[in-house]
């Protein structure tokens, strides 16, 4: 039971942090797409802890309509503290919208 509460708390913290970061007016104003939807539908797939898992159809629907290169250009150290850029690149690939080789997402460079 304690593990379930801990996981729930961590997930809630992750979602809240991701929401604050992605709802940043700079990203929202400069990058096309549904940043709120991206956070809501995809947060669980990019958290640092846990295994890499394929995204849901609803996550992919949002990913396909977001300017990922633009979002990547606004990734901060705070984002990288809670979001795995490797998993984010995997999600983009799995959703059929791969990031171009050499794209910088925060400090991560897509191989």
> Which positions of the chain have pLDDT values less than 70?
1-29
Residue 18: its pLDDT value, please? 52
d(CA 99, CA 109): 10
d(CA 53, CA 106): 21
Domain limits, the chain? 28-110
Start-to-end C-alpha separation, the chain:
40
The DSSP letter of residue 50 is S
**Secondary structure class of 99 (helix, strand, coil):** coil
* Superfamily the domain 28-110 falls into: Plant lipid-transfer and hydrophobic proteins (1.10.110.10)
pLDDT, one tens digit per residue, over 30-55 is 788 888 888 899 999 999 999 999 99
Residue 36: its pLDDT value, please? 85
Residue 53: its pLDDT value, please? 96
The pTM for the full model equals 0.74
**Integer angstrom CA distances of residue 70 from 12, 14, 31:** 26, 21, 5
């Amino acid at each position: 039971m304690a593990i379930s509460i801990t996981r729930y708390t961590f997930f809630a913290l992750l979602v809240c942090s991701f929401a604050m970061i992605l709802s940043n007016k700079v990203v929202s104003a400069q990058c096309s797409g549904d940043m709120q939807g991206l956070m809501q539908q995809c947060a669980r797939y990019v958290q640092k802890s846990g295994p890499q898992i394929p995204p849901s159809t609803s996550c992919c629907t949002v990913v396909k309509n977001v300017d990922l290169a633009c979002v990547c250009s606004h990734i901060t150290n705070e984002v990288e503290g809670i979001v795995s850029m490797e998993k984010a690149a995997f999600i983009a690939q799995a959703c059929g919208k791969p990031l171009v080789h050499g794209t910088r997402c925060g400090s991560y460079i897509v191989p």
